[in-house]
Chain A
């Protein structure tokens, strides 16, 4: 079983839609939960990180962590064509020196 599971998609939505991206994980000791956006042939760009269970909002983006279910989500409201990219979830071990990424979900927002 992989440490982090993420549906690779692809996901295609119309402009303005609400997008839901999800990851599950197996290690209850994970400490931080991050979401990155990666455009083609570029390095990942940090969108948000959370530390504990609950919600965190930043503009059109909301990150949600449910530690009891080992499940994290990223919601994108009012999606734009510029949001078309691959979205990666990532987690850090409680020791702070091990990092685990999902496979990424490819998102296309159609104008």
Chain B
């Protein structure tokens, strides 16, 4: 059984650029959630994907978007990067309806200059 993996591990971008982060779910998990964790803060829920559709969304602007693929892997896209987007981006996977047992990946650390 493979765990949740994320790529890349680190990324440096400049303000205004666009970024794509990737996540592979734990084997058998069909639901993916994305979180933003700023330094010294708890994770903030961005959105959740199930059956390739966004199923729930936190308080994030539309420039944060996502995709889920038939193999349940997922992407997080952020357009028009701002300095405040610098954070650890976490992906978590679970079975549908069992988010209380979601498993997190190691995260992608994004720095926006």
Residues of A within 8 A of B (CB): 4, 6, 8, 32, 34, 36, 41-46, 49, 51, 88, 90, 92, 95-104
Contact = CB atoms under 8 A, between A and B. Distances in A.
A96 B90 contact: no
Nearest to A42: B106
Contacts, number: 63
Interface centre among A41, A90, A97 (most CB of B within 10 A): A97
Contacts of B7: none
A98 B44 CA distance: 10
B104 A43 contact: yes
B105 A43 contact: yes
B45 A49 contact: no
Given A43-B92, A101-B43, 6 more contacts: A43-B104, A46-B102, A90-B43, A97-B56, A101-B45, A102-B42
A12 B26 CA distance: 34
Contacts of A42: 106-107
B103 A46 contact: yes
Contacts of A103: 40-42
B81 to A, nearest CB: 22
A34 B99 CA distance: 10
21 contacts: A43-B90, A43-B92, A44-B90, A45-B104, A46-B102, A49-B100, A49-B101, A88-B43, A90-B42, A90-B43, A92-B99, A92-B100, A96-B56, A96-B97, A98-B56, A98-B58, A99-B33, A99-B43, A99-B45, A101-B35, A101-B42
B55 interface: yes
B43 A97 contact: no
B34 to A, nearest CB: 10
Contacts of B101: 46, 49
Among all A-B residue pairs, the 3 with the closest Cβ atoms? A97-B56, A101-B42, A43-B104
A95 B48 CA distance: 12
A43 B42 contact: no
